[in-house]
Amino acid sequence: MVRSYAPANSAGPVDSPTTLQHWTEQVWNRAAAGCWIMVSPPNENIIVSNPWRPWYERYQPVSYKLCSRSGTEAQFRDMVTRCNNVGVYIYVDAIINHMCGSGGGAGTHSTCGSYFNAGTKEFSGVPYSSLDFNDNKCYTSNGEIQNYGDVNQVRNCRLVGLLDLALEKDYVRGKIAAFLNNLISIGVAGFRLDAAKHMWPGDISNIISRLSNLNTKWFPSGTRPLIFQEVIDLGGEAISASEYYGNGRVTEFKYGAKLGNVVRKWNGEKMAYLKNWGEGWGFMPSNRALVFVDNHDNQRGHGAGGASILTFWESRLYKIGVAFMLAHPYGVTRVMSSYRWSRNFVNGKDVNDWIGPPSNSDGSTKSVTINADTTCGNDWVCEHRWRQIKNMVIFRNTVDGQAFTNWWDNGGNQIAFGRGNRGFIVFNNESWNMDATLNTGLPAGTYCDVISGQKEGTRCTGVQVTVSSTGSARFTISSSAEDPFIAIHVNAKL
């Protein structure tokens, strides 16, 4: 039997955790407990000096050696080992569609010092030569993707100048599989396949077929890696996300773009319309989807999604969006963990969208310090540590597998729903106060709101909610509350 790492109750060939954390650019010295973490590309990349060391240089591989701004191979191994030992599983952002940009020059300006020549397409650290790239199959005038309506261009031409690997070649497939299998042997649990839309689904399938099972030091024998593919499908293009279902999960980009519109009340949207959120909104089947409110691209205007995307910069709206996502049963969810940078909007565009992680004057990445109030310092945002978000991840784990129940709305922007008899959440996104008595579906008792506080010992540090013997409870939420929502679940019951 083919299995993936998974909680016992998930279904289908590609099982998965309930929530992933997306750690952008963090250094390899962190460990937490009880979660799944996706990390920035760990392999060698080009050093871009104009602009100086942008975050996106990590999306321009030079070899598959494991040394990057986040640390050395030894440090990466150490982190994965320590994380696996405490039940925290690491997923790697895998850049296998391409190498660096065609204008990357020649030399050893790479994070492990491997020689490369972007002009002659030579990458000594792999090695790849000009024979391993797709240019002979691309028929656009400049070798670039010019039209997303043409499948052949999207998959055989260069994405923003990046040298496009010939993934149908046995040699290239072998090099990529060896790279991923090295990570698996170190203990990694799965991969985000970057730019999957720019690869033929059959090529991805072949590479996956070459992957080892996960390391039996930490995973049951026969466990397959979790695969999720970055395919941006907002509709209206030649390539559809469904072509990739056979390989694993697929990113659902409609999710964050549409949720942003709803929470912002743009385009006539309101929270009440979320009643049939999910497939009812034209999303892919829930058991195929990897969903997120924002990602490392669209939180800074790259990629897709546009202005509606919610990010930590607008923390009140962001927490509403993330809480809704984590409470709702659709998809496997991913929460961001970001860093702050100094934004500079010129004509509506942030011209500082390239800025890399917080760094010291010698260019090294600053460590993630933890403040007394458990938030992060040194310009690390650590959304995953925000009480409201952390507690909603616990909510999601608590209600995992439970049905979507007891929907209520006021016809506008006050909504509530439950997850079976294990959890209930209420939002007031109106400009007036809310006072409603609702059927929660929960057993009678006193519950701690896990947004304004949480359960500590035998008391609640925030709001308390009393559920009657019939399952009903009164909720009052001020429209000016910093967090205009309340969430209760059976593991936060007094």
Residue numbers annotated as active site: 194, 230
Least separation, in Å, of the C-beta of 481 and ligand AAO? 32
Site mask for ligand AAO (CB under 6 A), range 57-76, x = bound: x-xx----------------
Instruction: Report the residue from 115, 148, 200, 313 that binds ligand AAO according to the rule CB under 6 A.
Output: 148
CA–CA distance from 266 to each of 307, 319, 328, 429 (Å)?
A: 11, 17, 21, 13
> What is the helix, strand, coil percentage profile of the chain, to 5?
25, 25, 50
Stretch that binds ligand AAO, among 160-168, 325-333, 359-367, 481-489 (CB under 6 A): 160-168
Q: Is 307 in the site for ligand AAO (CB under 6 A)?
A: no
> Is 195 an interacting residue with respect to ligand AAO (CB under 6 A)?
yes
Nearer to ligand AAO, 95 or 291 (CB): 95
383 lies in the binding site for ligand AAO (CB under 6 A): no
Nearest to 356 by CA among 10, 2, 23, 24: 24
Q: Is there binding between residue 297 and ligand AAO (CB under 6 A)?
A: yes
Identify whether the C-beta of residue 178 lies closer than 8 Å to the C-beta of residue 96: no
Query: In Å, how far are 290, 360, 459, 468 from 492, measured between CA atoms?
Result: 27, 41, 10, 16
Q: Which stretch binds ligand AAO (CB under 6 A): 119-127, 231-239, 365-373, 424-432?
A: 231-239
In the beta sheet, which residues pair with residue 39? Answer: 23, 92
Q: Is 143 in the site for ligand AAO (CB under 6 A)?
A: no
The encoded tokens of residue 372 equal: 């007394």
Q: Kindly write out the interface string for residues 444-463 of this chain, putting x where it contacts ligand AAO by CB under 6 A and - elsewhere.
A: --------------------
Note whether 232 binds ligand AAO by CB under 6 A: yes
Cα–Cα distance measured from residue 352 to residue 232, given in angstroms and rounded to the nearest whole number: 24
Using rule CB under 6 A, residue 230 touches ligand AAO: yes
Query: Is 303 one of the binding residues for ligand AAO (CB under 6 A)?
Result: yes
Question: Binding of ligand AAO at residue 317 (CB under 6 A)?
Answer: no
**Segment near ligand AAO (CB under 6 A), from 128-136, 190-198, 205-213, 482-490?**
190-198
Beta-carbon neighbour count of residue 215 at 10 Å? 18
Q: Residues 317, 478, 417, 469: is their CA dihedral positive or negative? A: positive
Identify which of residues 176 and 232 has a Cβ nearer to ligand AAO in the complex: 232
The residue among 160 and 403 lying less far from ligand AAO, judged by its C-beta, is: 160
Is residue 340 packed enough to be buried (19+ CB in 10 Å), middle (13-18) or exposed (0-12)? middle
Q: Is 272 in the site for ligand AAO (CB under 6 A)?
A: no
C-alpha to C-alpha distances, 281 to 234, 255, 442, nearest whole angstrom? 12, 9, 28
CA distance 17 to 31: 17
Q: In which region does residue 444 sit, left (phi positive, over 0), alpha (psi from -120 to 50) or beta (all else)?
A: beta
Residues 31/82, Cβ–Cβ less than 8 Å: yes
Site membership for ligand AAO, residue 95 (CB under 6 A): yes
- Say whether residue 87 binds ligand AAO (CB under 6 A): no
The C-alpha atoms of residue 18 and residue 108 are separated, in whole angstroms, by 41
Q: Would you count residue 197 as binding ligand AAO (CB under 6 A)? A: yes
**Residue 151 burial (CB count, 10 A):** 15
> Interface with ligand AAO includes 237 (CB under 6 A)?
yes
Asked if 118 is part of the footprint of ligand AAO (rule: CB under 6 A), the reply reads: no
**What is the closest distance, in whole angstroms, from the C-beta atom of residue 392 to ligand AAO in the complex?**
25
CA separation for the pair 167, 36 (Å, rounded): 29
Contact 279, 227 (CB under 8 A): no
CA distance linking residue 256 with residue 246, whole number of Å? 23
- Minimum Å distance from CB 417 to ligand AAO? 29
Q: Does 56 bind ligand AAO (CB under 6 A)?
A: yes
Identify which of 105, 77, 301, 297 has the alpha carbon closest to the alpha carbon of residue 187.
77
* Residue placing its CB nearer to ligand AAO in the complex, 188 or 195: 195
Q: Which of 82, 270, 302, 493 binds ligand AAO (CB under 6 A)?
A: 302
Closest approach, Cβ 224 to ligand AAO, in A, equals 24
Determine phi and psi for 259, rounding to 5 degrees: -65, -35
Residue closer to ligand AAO, measured from CB, 58 or 396: 58
Nearest to 27 by CA among 65, 68, 55: 68
Q: Report if residue 161 touches ligand AAO, rule: CB under 6 A.
A: yes
**Residue nearer to ligand AAO on the CB measure, 98 or 419:** 98
Residue 294 found at the interface with ligand AAO (CB under 6 A): no
Residue placing its CB nearer to ligand AAO in the complex, 32 or 234: 234
The correct pick among 15, 25, 164, 194 for binding ligand AAO (CB under 6 A) is 194
Q: Under the rule (CB under 6 A), what is the footprint of ligand AAO? A: 56-57, 59-60, 95, 101, 103, 148, 159-162, 194-195, 197, 230, 232, 234, 237, 297, 302-304, 306
